[in-house]
């Protein structure tokens, strides 16, 4: 595989295009990626003039407009082919890029991927994969919010897709997957969970059983499967708890001598950074025919850069081919 070419939606996100372009340039340099910046050429060019771009392989691809956070995504994606997310997707379809990164409207990104790329044969429901914050390395969650209603068969497909990701993008050999539930035993969970347990246990995946919330972080599980309703709730809750608890921990600093207080503050800042969902850059929509990565609307340059690292790992790992193979069997 040659240099990976990433189409970045420069117009999507609360801090677009400034932070997006800055992060994209940084990522292209750090990660040795070729960059297609999609958006308003004038605005992109203006931002680029402040940045070091010598030696970078990049191109600006004009788009007409952007789908904003408050818009109804399905209609906007269908009716505005010139929106930056649609232009970025077409760059992949036309063979100019290997994948898309957007910090814009999450729903619009997913719908654009579905409509432009289509689903991998056998996939009924694409699903969003994210690292489960920085609380534990090598722990991924699927589905992080794409599907609020699922059937057991969908969850089985999530498990196949997520296992392919964990093995070939995150490079975890024989990734261990678990089903999020309210009890460890196979008869725990809601009806859908119990049926899914049976399907997973009969699969060729490395299924280690149900996992509960309090053991998730201390476990050796690499992939936790949940529907997108629960997955989205727990991801955001983890973020909220981390923020709240680190603030409470920070209160001790007032009682410490200055030097110690500074060490504690730095340490807690590091934990804040690790556990900041935005920091992770991007979730990956698994189940569509080409790679797409969608980040938090509030992403700044670092998140964009980190999203590009995620994109590079998945593209380089050939995860989509692996998913095709897994679901063809």
Which residues lie near a copy of itself (CB under 8 A)?
135-136, 145, 148-149, 180-183, 189-191, 193, 212-218, 227-230, 232-246, 248-249, 251-252, 255-257, 260, 263-264, 267-268, 271, 275, 277
Computed on alpha carbons and rounded to an integer, the radius of gyration of the chain in Å comes to: 20
The nearer residue to a copy of itself, 55 or 255, going by C-beta atoms, is 255
- The distance of closest approach from Cβ of residue 181 to a copy of itself in the complex, given in angstroms and rounded to an integer, is 7
Residue 152, both tokens: 């057991």
Separation CA 8–CA 63 (nearest Å): 12
Closest approach of a copy of itself to the CB of residue 10, in Å: 26
- Of 202 and 249, the one with the shorter C-beta distance to a copy of itself is 249
Cβ closer to a copy of itself: 96 or 136? Answer: 136
Q: Which is nearer to a copy of itself, 222 or 289 (CB)?
A: 222
Query: Of the two residues 11 and 224, which places its CB atom closer to a copy of itself in the complex?
Result: 224
**In whole angstroms, what is the distance from residue 201 CA to residue 191 CA?**
16
Min CB(129)–a copy of itself separation in Å: 16
Contact 6, 98 (CB under 8 A): yes
CB 177 within 8 A of CB 139: no
How many CB atoms lie under 10 A from the CB of residue 76?
A: 21
Residue placing its CB nearer to a copy of itself in the complex, 33 or 179? 179
Asked if 139 and 131 touch (Cβ cutoff 8 Å), the reply is: yes
Report the interhelical angle of 41-48 vs 18-31 (nearest 10°): 60
At its nearest, how many Å lie between a copy of itself and the CB of residue 308? Answer: 24
| Helices and strands per DSSP (H, E), number in the chain | 12, 11
By beta-carbon proximity to a copy of itself, the closer residue of 75 and 182 is: 182
Distance (Å, rounded) from C-alpha 71 to C-alpha 105?
Answer: 8
Give the distance from CA 141 to its chain's centroid. Answer: 10
- For residue 328, count other CB atoms closer than 10 A to its CB: 9
CB of 135 to a copy of itself, least distance (A): 5
- 291-309 b/e with 16+ CB inside 10 Å = b? bbbbbbbebbbbbbbbbbb
**Least Å from the CB of residue 257 to a copy of itself:** 6
Nearer to a copy of itself, 30 or 273 (CB): 273
Pairing of strands 283-286, 127-131: antiparallel
Report the C-alpha gap between 40 and 172 in whole angstroms.
39
- For the bound state, the minimum distance from the C-beta of residue 169 to a copy of itself, rounded and expressed in Å, comes to 24
To a copy of itself, the closest distance from the beta carbon of 228 in angstroms equals: 7
CA angle 299, 300, 306 (to 5 degrees): 80
Least distance to a copy of itself from the beta carbon of 57, Å? 37
Nearer to a copy of itself, 173 or 254 (CB): 254
**Are the beta carbons of 288 and 120 closer than 8 angstroms?**
yes
């Amino acid at each position: 595989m040659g240099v990976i070419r990433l189409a970045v939606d420069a117009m999507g996100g609360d801090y677009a295009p400034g932070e997006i372009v800055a992060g994209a340039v940084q990522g292209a340099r750090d990660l040795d990626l070729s960059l297609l910046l999609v958006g308003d050429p004038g605005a992109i060019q203006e931002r680029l003039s402040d940045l070091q771009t010598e030696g970078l392989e990049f191109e600006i691809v004009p788009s007409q407009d952007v789908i904003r956070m408050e818009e109804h995504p399905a209609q906007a994606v269908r009716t505005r082919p010139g929106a930056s997310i649609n232009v970025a997707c077409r760059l992949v379809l036309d063979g100019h890029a290997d994948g898309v990164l957007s910090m814009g409207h999450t729903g619009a990104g997913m719908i654009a991927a579905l409509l432009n790329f289509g689903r991998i044969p056998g996939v009924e429901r694409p699903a969003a994969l994210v690292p489960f914050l920085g609380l534990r390395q090598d722990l991924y969650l699927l589905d992080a919010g794409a599907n609020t209603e699922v059937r057991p068969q969908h969850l089985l497909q999530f498990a196949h897709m997520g296992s392919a990701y964990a093995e070939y993008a995150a490079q975890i050999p024989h990734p261990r997957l678990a089903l999020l539930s309210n009890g460890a035993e196979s008869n725990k969970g809601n009806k859908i969970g119990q049926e899914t347990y049976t399907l997973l246990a009969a699969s060729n995946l490395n299924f280690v059983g149900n996992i509960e919330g309090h053991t998730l972080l201390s476990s050796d599980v690499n992939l936790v499967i949940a529907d997108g309703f629960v997955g989205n709730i727990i991801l955001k809750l983890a973020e909220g708890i981390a923020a709240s608890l680190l603030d409470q921990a920070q209160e001790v600093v007032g009682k410490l001598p200055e030097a110690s207080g500074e060490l504690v503050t730095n340490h807690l800042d590091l934990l804040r950074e690790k556990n900041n969902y935005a920091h992770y850059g991007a979730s990956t929509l698994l189940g569509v025919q080409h790679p797409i990565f969608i980040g938090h609307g509030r992403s700044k340059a670092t998140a964009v850069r980190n999203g590009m690292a995620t994109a590079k790992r998945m593209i380089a790992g050939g995860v989509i081919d692996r998913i095709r193979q897994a679901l063809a069997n």
